[in-house]
Amino acid sequence: MTHATSLPEPDRRRGRWQLILLLLVVIGPILLASAMYKWRFWVPESRSYHGTLIGDGRDLADIGVQAAANGRWQLLVTVPGECDAACGELLYLARQVNIGLAREASRASHALASATALPAELDARLRREYPRLERHALDLRQYREAGQDAAVPSLWIVDPLGNLVLRYGPGVNGKGVLEDLRLLLKLSHIG
């Protein structure tokens, strides 16, 4: 007297569709992102930084700056020639951006890399007005080989490992540099 209770037969087609849908939800975004990267479609043309993005793995040594990474973000002014008015403006801007970081200021420093010795009067003034300014030597030959303009000073943002991140020319807007550095500090877990 056993009653054969029959369970309903599972719908195999419905199960297959659920599996396919699940795989599309999980693997689909990965495939779409890979295709977007490879064939460069739907990639935004706008940018959120104000300088020239380096992003090719170059570091301080590649542009001839003879210094080791100091473990902090750095605003580096490179001066291939004499420190003229443009150089002075970039040095002032680097210090002001560092001050503008407020409570994050200890995570950054400012530095000068010069290819020539500074005149005694300018050197004394910089020591007086910029007491925390780090100084480094700049190899002009290597700077030129790296494709940099040897007539114009530049401001660089350097990460705590010594990698070049962004480059700015003379006349750059300080607010843009400050925004860029704040964003980098926010995203970075080093330095």
- Burial 140-171, CB ≥16 within 10 A → b, else e: beebeeeebeeebbbbbbbbbebbbbbbbeee
Long-range contacts, stretch 146-152, CB < 8 angstroms, 24+ apart: 146/58, 146/62, 146/63, 146/64, 148/63, 148/78, 148/80, 149/80, 150/80, 150/81, 151/80, 151/81, 152/80, 152/86
pLDDT in tens, the chain (191 residues): 556 666 666 677 888 899 999 999 999 999 999 998 888 888 777 778 899 999 888 999 999 998 988 899 999 999 998 899 999 999 999 999 999 999 999 999 999 999 999 999 999 999 999 999 999 999 999 999 988 887 899 999 999 999 999 999 999 999 999 999 999 999 998 87
Report the pLDDT value the prediction gives residue 37, as an integer from 0 to 100.
84
Distance CA 96, CA 15 (A): 64
Report the pLDDT value the prediction gives residue 76, as an integer from 0 to 100.
97
pTM beyond 0.85, yes or no: no
Report the pLDDT value the prediction gives residue 6, as an integer from 0 to 100.
66
Distance CA 69, CA 72 (A): 8
Phi/psi at 142 (5° precision): -70, -35
* Beta-bridge partners for 77: 112, 155
Report the pLDDT value the prediction gives residue 42, as an integer from 0 to 100.
84
Structural domains in the chain, sorted by start = 13-43 (no CATH), 52-187 (3.40.30.10)
* Beta-bridge partners for 113: 78, 136
Could you tell me whether strands 154-158 and 65-66 are parallel, antiparallel, or unpaired per DSSP bridges?
unpaired
Report the pLDDT value the prediction gives residue 8, as an integer from 0 to 100.
67
